[in-house]
Amino acid sequence: MAVDAELLTFVRDALTRGASRKQIEDALLGAGWSSDQVSNALSAFAEIDFPVPVPTPKPYLSAREAFMYLVLFTTLYISAFNLGNLVFQFINRAFPDPSAQHAGLGEYSRYAIRWSVASLIVAFPIFLYVTNLIGRAIKRDPSKRASKVRKWLTYITLFVAASVLIGDLTSLIFNFLGGELTLRFVFKVLTVGIIAGTIFGYYLWDLRKEESAVEM
């Protein structure tokens, strides 16, 4: 979110004159500025002991980092989808549906298993490798956490995971109300819920950790 230039100038001047952040926040809120606008303006300057306000690093866009994060999240999606598909095939074999048996089903199941295993063998190690590269880069330079691409793709991933969880729960309740719950269906719902929930929980935790680090 872009910070109003006039607001930024006011905050910088107020900090230069020795006003506390609480005083500045109260004054701006009283003048009608929103809490988000005030928070963003104050966060533009570091909370360190120095005679003049010190600006914090601004979010930036790097082509190399865009490539790295696109690879990271693409391999995450591929891994999650194919892990779910692989588990689904095992559930289908463990709890076959008599009404859906036909000659080509077994062959399709074998094909789906091979494809999912092949996809996981390729995508998941790349995901781990890129995760490690990005993690080491952030340790060397914590300002890299401010990458715009990283934040956008993280929020998109949270949105996708949340949508999947909502759809998963809706499907469970719908079938429960219709009296159509089967062990096979419940295991599939649990599979989707665990995968999507793990992704959602991890990236939500990562965002909160980042926000806590900024506030400290």
pLDDT at 188: 94
Contacts of 3 (CB under 8 A, 6+ apart): 37, 40, 41, 44
Q: How many CA atoms lie within 13 Å of 163's alpha carbon, on the beta-carbon side?
A: 6
Amino acid at 157: T
CB 103 within 8 A of CB 70: no
Give residue limits of the domains in the chain: 1-56, 63-215
pLDDT at 101: 60
**pLDDT band at residue 212 under the 50/70/90 scheme:** low
CB 61 within 8 A of CB 153: no
Q: Cβ of 211: how many Cβ atoms within 10 Å?
A: 10
Q: Note the pLDDT tens digit of each residue in 131-190.
A: 999 999 888 877 777 788 888 999 999 999 999 999 999 999 998 898 878 899 999 999
Q: Note the pLDDT tens digit of each residue in 189-210.
A: 999 999 999 999 999 998 888 7
Q: Note the pLDDT tens digit of each residue in 42-73.
A: 888 888 888 888 888 776 667 888 999 999 99
Helix axes 35-42, 21-30, angle to 10 degrees: 150
**pLDDT band at residue 102 under the 50/70/90 scheme:** low
